[in-house]
Structure 1
Amino acid sequence: MKVLFLVTRLPVPPWRGDQVRAYHHLRLLARAHEITCCALLTRPPPAPLRAEVEALGVRLVVVRLGVLGAVPALARALVGDARPLQVLLYARRRGAAAVARLGTTHGFDVAHAQLVRAAPYLPRDGHPPVVIDLIDALSANFARRAARERGPAGAVAAWEAARLARFEARLVAETASVLVVSEAERAALGGQGVTVVPNGVDPVAFPYREDGRPAARVVFAGNLGYFPNVDAARWLARDIFPRIRDALPAAELRLVGARPARAVRALADAPGVSLAAGVPAMAPELAAATVAVVPMRAGSGLQNKVLEAMAVGTPVVTTPRATAALEVRPGEHLLVADDAAGLAAAALDLLRAPGRARVLARAARALVERRYRWEDSAAGVDGAWQRAVDAARRS
């Protein structure tokens, strides 16, 4: 079928979670469908990145939104526009007209939109039918951020959470199919009309390795400019890792990820802590660690950082928040604790008992291979497209 695939970030390089998901879905589904990837971007991408997207087997169309248009778009919130700021930030009338012309010209069978911010570009008359991949319940994400932030930032997050909740409910009610990564996200959106399509891990890009690891290296990896990861990195470096280091003075903490916030950069001044920003590939960093500690307290969705560590054979210590979207069993696939003392104790348990760490790592890798394959994820999206098209034909 002919598919319009709307994204608000170019899927290459696949750094953020939505980019990783779009990259693998395009890579696999372009083999069976004629896909036009329409990227709604504030500035045009360089030629090499355009070529990388087209190498996936898709046609790339860039709709340039520009930066200046964001100001009047956001100002609409002050004059009664009830849409979330996340949506208004990307809303451009000219951009919507360009996407509409694209649809008229190509006669797509289905439109696939990724993230709530792509909503202003969806066809309004139901033709073609729409599948929107929200990935997670962003309203819940902002509500958790509001609970952790203080002052004006917390108030704004709470305000945005309420607007997002109303907008998400309307999308679920009006869209042919809504996708999320886990049952927890499905429940947060009300359940009915929402389909779970989990993420996956590329076993070639994240190969399993047991040997050649240091004795006591803790790693935390992710987008280090994203609030939930900033919060986790600060908690790890300030409250969890010092407890580990007190008991095991040789322990080191490695923070890995692109675009680290100033607060994360400052953490590297602490004893035993190092920062690796903008590494070319995440797998070698994860495989060079003894334990991955993922102390998530905010955020939503399925944590790719947990799956990727499990894939390369690095045993994981994490929080209930990070496991909520995963089909894992604590004690068999990873260790779970909900406070700094418990997380430090679990990490020390694995650092001091390599045999137990190895058993955990092998079980985790087996789970990833069995349950979290990108081929299965892409098949879930393909099925949603077909159901949307079939329903439109019957109506």
Structure 2
Amino acid sequence: MHRTLALIPYVPHPPFGGGDQRVHHVLTALAGAGELVVWALSRHLDQPDGWPLAARFAERPRVFSHGAPGAASEPAPPLTGLFNQPFPTWPGRVRADYSHALWAALERLDLGGFSAVHVESLGMIPYGVALRARHPRLRLTLNVDNIDPVYAWQALRVAPRWFSRPTYWAVRNIAQLFRFSRRWFPAFDAVWVCSGTDRRWVLRWTNQRRVVVVPNGMDCAMFSDLDPAPDCPRLVMTGTMMEGPNSDGMAWFADRVWPEVLRAVPGAEFWCVGRDPCPPVLEAAQRHPGITVTGSVPDVRPYLARAAVSVAPVRYGTGTRLKILEAMAAGLPVVSTRLGADGLGFRHGRELLLADRAGDFANACIRLLTDAGARTRLGATGRRSVQKYDWKAIYQTISSLAAAGAERAPGARAPV
């Protein structure tokens, strides 16, 4: 049985957000495909004692603190010298995941029994590349839930602040992200991405057909017994509401879309369900009547069950949106921007409604709130279509990739 070392930027427990859930389920599949050893970073030295998945690993997960080179009490370990790129030129996203303690532990680690190293996210790339330089026989895989340089560029385009100091630093960081990704993605034998759109971006940098689509998924059975509220004019949006695509989309929806919906459907309500609501979200809710911001909830299912329509007003971001999959599995009709539904393969008017302009988005919401037949048809079609994103099916894909990779020498082409 092959043995894999997984290097992850945090302990994904509890798995609140979509990124947490993707890491959790990828590790679940890898643990089922062979022996898995997990080393994680954590700024608070969280211990994985309450992490049920840890029982399936080959040994207890190890957790390391973050620490910048300047804060280290001793010189950086020799292993870091194998990653021959000056530290100041690394993107901030990568520098944030520097850990002197992890570098030191990797220097001492005997990798004789390992056949592969699995790396989660852009920030952990230096560790994987350094290990490959020292142990060329190791197979190297990278899993990303976002294409970071594209994500950062889209965020700047949505809210540009030209000729300002923040914009200067944002553009500088974007350039660093593009250079870093283009330089180091080709070092991996396989790169796992969420969608075909993300795959096309990575292929521009690598010029190698090593990029594999491993879609985000969810547990359809958890939502199978839910039914949408029959005559309740309530819209719902789920997701982590800290600064980012969700908070931007929620504020845009509240200011540009919600007033039109409320004029057409006076008794309508909009629920924003998710942890860590940032000031723009709270302020948007205060500006308009009928909006409820719940903050953190233990389970989104009761809120989906009490809604008539789910919305995903996402204006920037890469990867795929878990909120759309969960709503469809619950039988809810979905209104989304095209970017929000990008990579999922759902069709406008068949599985969901797509709209990018505020007026079109409002009309789609109004149509579903006032037409029970359209809600039922769209919800039923979406529920059937989302079954292909059940994690049980995706586990088989990951297990097959891991098994096939263990049989190939490093540098061989990954399956597409």
TM-score (norm 2): 0.86
Q: Pick from 114, 124, 128 the counterpart of residue 132 of structure 2.
A: 124
Q: Pick from 72, 85, 95 the counterpart of residue 92 of structure 2.
A: 85
Q: Give the 5 Å matches for 1:179-190.
A: 179-190=192-203
Deviates more, 1:143-152 or 1:7-16: 143-152
| Matched residue, 1:108 | 114
| Matched residue, 1:25 | 26
For the residue of structure 2 that corresponds to 1:274, the secondary structure is strand
Sort the Cα spacing of 1:211 and 1:168 in 2 relative to 1 into closer, same or farther, 3 A.
closer
| Matched residue, 2:369 | 351
| Matched residue, 2:149 | 139
Q: Residues 53-73 of structure 1: CA distance to partner in whole angstroms, max 9, x if unpaired? A: 424556442332246769789
Deviates more, 1:191-200 or 1:56-65: 56-65
Sort the Cα spacing of 1:71 and 1:324 in 2 relative to 1 into closer, same or farther, 3 A.
farther
CA distance in 2, matches of 1:214, 1:228: 30
CA distance in 1, matches of 2:23, 2:126: 19
For the residue of structure 2 that corresponds to 1:178, the secondary structure is strand
Q: Residues 188-231 of structure 1: CA distance to partner in whole angstroms, max 9, x if unpaired? A: 11263211111111012233522545511111111101411111
For the residue of structure 2 that corresponds to 1:205, the secondary structure is helix
CA distance in 2, matches of 1:393, 1:132: 13
Deviates more, 1:234-243 or 1:265-274: 265-274
CA distance in 2, matches of 1:116, 1:339: 33
Q: Structure 2: where are the runs of 5+ without partners?
A: 77-85
CA distance in 2, matches of 1:334, 1:394: 41
Shift of 1:287: 2.5
| Matched residue, 1:153 | 166
For the residue of structure 1 that corresponds to 2:362, the secondary structure is helix
Conserved 8 A contact 1:30-1:57: yes
| Matched residue, 2:298 | 280
Shift of 1:11: 1.6
Q: Pick from 201, 214, 222 the counterpart of residue 239 of structure 2.
A: 222
Q: Pick from 362, 373, 378 the counterpart of residue 390 of structure 2.
A: 373
For the residue of structure 1 that corresponds to 2:184, the secondary structure is helix
Of all paired residues, the percent bearing the same amino acid is: 29
Q: Give the 5 Å matches for 1:4-23.
A: 4-23=5-24
Shift of 1:23: 1.5
Aligned residues: 387
CA distance in 2, matches of 1:71, 1:254: 44
TM-score (norm 1): 0.91
Q: Give the 5 Å matches for 1:117-266.
A: 117-122=123-128, 123-125=131-133, 126-149=136-159, 150=161, 151-190=164-203, 192-213=209-230, 215-266=232-283
> Is the aligned partner of 1:38 residue 2:39?
yes
Shift of 1:394: 8.9
Over the residues paired in the alignment, what is the CA RMSD in angstroms? Answer: 2.3
| Matched residue, 1:76 | none
CA distance in 2, matches of 1:80, 1:67: 13
Conserved 8 A contact 1:333-1:364: yes
Shift of 1:348: 0.6
Amino acid at match of 1:5: A
